[in-house]
Structures are given as C-alpha cells and as structure tokens.
Amino acid sequence: MSSQPWFWIMVLTGALLLALLVLVVVRARREKRPPDYFAIFLMGIVWLLTGVSMILLVPKEDFTLSSWGFTIMGAAFMAIGLAHRDKWKENRRTWSSLAPSEKKIKLTLVVILGVLMLAGLAAMLLFETGSPPAA
C-alpha cells in the first residue's frame, strides 16, 4: 500500500513529460528554423564537463559506460559547434527577439521543468531518509 503514492507520482511525471514532448514536436514541425550552433557548442561544454566529473567522482565499482558516453557526446557537440563558428550570430535568438507567444511558452516550460526538478528532489529526499525533510 505504501508504494501506491510513488506509482501515481511516476504516472503524473510521465504524463507531464509526454505532454512536453508532444508540444515540442508539434511546434518543431510547424516552424523550421536553422540550428543554433552556439547553443550546440554550449550543450557540448555541459555534457563534456558532466562526463568528466562522472568519470572522476563515481567509484570504480559503480562505474558504467554512460560517463564515457557523456564525454564523447559532449566533445562531438563542441566540435560541431566550433566547426560552424561563423554561423553563431546568424541563428542566435535572444529573449528580446522572441514573439510574446514564444516567451509565454518558454516561460511555461521553464516553470514546469523547475517544478518537476523540485518534485524529483523531494522524492529523492523522501526515498533516502524515509520521512519528509524537516523545515
């Protein structure tokens, strides 16, 4: 009986992620834009640092190939971004250049993802300690 709330939390989280995925796919099919190579480069930096930190911090007995995957994909994203460095300013979209409807959608997505991250952190703390954290 105690595992039932976790089931509903997982179902709700999955439904929200699925709704976000559908929203992103529908918008991407409606409007074709050239890639933002600067964003790809920045994503490469984040993935590379994540992979390297996982390699250095994860104990050898718990080590998996996923940390090498992050490192290699990060290096690939950085290489793609650097190869198209001349196009960094062409396709760059700032907050001020977005239409009001795009700003609303992006802000909504950020809020939803933030709430999901906080819910995940709360669930992790509950799972680790077995009781709600003290205020």
Kindly report, residue by residue over 12-51, the tens digit of the pLDDT.
888 888 888 888 888 777 777 788 899 999 999 999 998 8
Q: How far apart are CA 84 and CA 91, in angstroms?
A: 11
- The domain total for the chain is 1
**Residue 127 falls within a domain, yes or no?**
no
**Residue 25 falls within a domain, yes or no?**
no
Distances (CA, A) of 55 to 52, 69, 128: 5, 10, 24
Write out pLDDT tens, residues 43-82: 999 999 988 888 887 776 666 666 788 899 999 999 999 9
Q: Give residue 52's domain range.
A: 35-90
**Residue 108 falls within a domain, yes or no?**
no
Helices 4-30 and 100-129: crossing angle, nearest 10°? Answer: 160
Predicted structure pTM score = 0.59
